[in-house]
Homo-oligomer: A and B are copies of this chain.
């Protein structure tokens, strides 16, 4: 492995000059530039990034936290983030928290040990008070999820409105018995706000909801199927279901069809995200502008790294849109 020293020797110059050429500093003669370039080529030299990191105190690496990369919402988010990061010369370290507080805390050490320049959180498992101290070691940007107390840039969607417009749509279609199906994360503002929106629409229409019309713990297609099985057993089931994701909605629709129920006549279902899946299954859903929030979050991250400002709250709120299809 050739070092900068070897290049310097071969070129008959000092390390300093070689370093200057590498980093495009001014005040180097064209002639010596050429000399250095030739030597670098001959030795097949590449700067050692560990040494660079140590010297410059930065890693050009960003960690992105997601619950699971197989969730299409998050993989889409990560796809766009990686693209943006690569464009600006940053790498992405992928951290799957698996919905676990402890896993999230483990990954937080990455920032502390200077393995990454910053953190983007797309979900939050721990209380913000557990995360906040890490701001001392580098910037954090929150994307999708949010928290009131976080003094960091936040890019998120108006989930109250999301819950509201979805539910209002169901009500406008004439359904009066509305159920609610979601992954139940105590710490998640996203889930919390959607529920607020749901209840708001219900209230405005003067509708009541039975406790048994609430279904929790639903994240995947499989969970959706399970949800339908539970719903089927009810003596007075809801006519329509608001769900937290297209996967869950798809699972419900599938299980319902398998059981001979007609969608939306016997049961209406609304999804969330507008994934390709939603189109395939003809799901009415709420579209989230994934590319925009991913891009904005990454921009804010890189900005934070460069400006070295770390704790300034800044909210970017983006709109949601109802996509009507055949499941309602």
The CA of A59 and the CA of B93, in the complex, are separated in Å by: 13
Closest CB in chain B relative to A294 CB, distance in Å: 12
CB of A280 closer than 8 Å to a CB of B? yes
User: By the criterion CB–CB under 8 Å, are B113 and A48 in contact?
Assistant: yes
Residues of B within 8 A of A32 (CB): none
A220 to B61, CA, bound (A): 30
CA gap between A34 and B221 in the complex, in Å? 51
For A112, list chain B residues within 8 Å (CB): 46
Residue A79, interface by CB 8 Å: yes
Interface-facing stretch out of A4-12, A69-77, A152-160, A311-319: A69-77
A50 within 8 Å of B by Cβ? yes
Within 8 A of B (CB), among A213-238: 220-222
Question: A86 contacts which chain B residues (CB < 8 A)?
Answer: 95-96, 106
A112-152 Cβ-contact flags toward B at 8 Å (1 or 0): 11110000000000000000000000000000000000000
Q: Looking at the assembled complex, report how far the CB atom of A1 sits from the nearest CB atom of chain B, in whole angstroms.
A: 8
Q: Which residue of B lies closest to A258 (CB)?
A: B282
Closest beta carbon of chain B to A60's beta carbon, Å: 9
> How many subunits of this chain does the assembly comprise?
2
How many Å from the CB of A175 to the closest CB on chain B? 24
Is A220's CB under 8 angstroms from B276's CB? yes
Q: Flag whether A254 is at the interface (Cβ < 8 A).
A: yes
Q: Which residues of B contact A83 (CB under 8 A)?
A: 96, 98
Q: For the complex, is A279 an interface residue (Cβ under 8 Å from B)?
A: yes
Number of interface residues of A (CB under 8 A): 48
In the complex, whether A277 has a CB less than 8 A from a CB of chain B is yes
A53 at the interface (CB under 8 A from B): yes
Which residues of chain B are within 8 angstroms of A61 by Cβ–Cβ distance? 93
A82 and B70 form a contact (CB under 8 A)? no
Q: How far is the CB of A50 from chain B (nearest CB, A)?
A: 4
Complex CA distance for A54 and B57, rounded to whole angstroms: 13
Report B-chain residues with C-beta under 8 Å of the C-beta of A277. Answer: 277, 280
> Closest residue of chain B to A80, judged by CB?
B70
Contact B75 A69 (CB under 8 A): yes
Residues on B with C-beta less than 8 A from A50 are: 50, 53-54, 57, 59, 114-115
Q: Which 10 A-B pairs have the closest CB atoms?
A: A50-B53, A50-B54, A49-B113, A75-B75, A221-B276, A49-B115, A94-B94, A70-B79, A46-B112, A69-B79
List 11 A-B pairs, Cβ < 8 Å. A46-B109, A48-B54, A50-B59, A53-B54, A69-B69, A91-B110, A92-B93, A94-B94, A277-B277, A277-B280, A280-B280
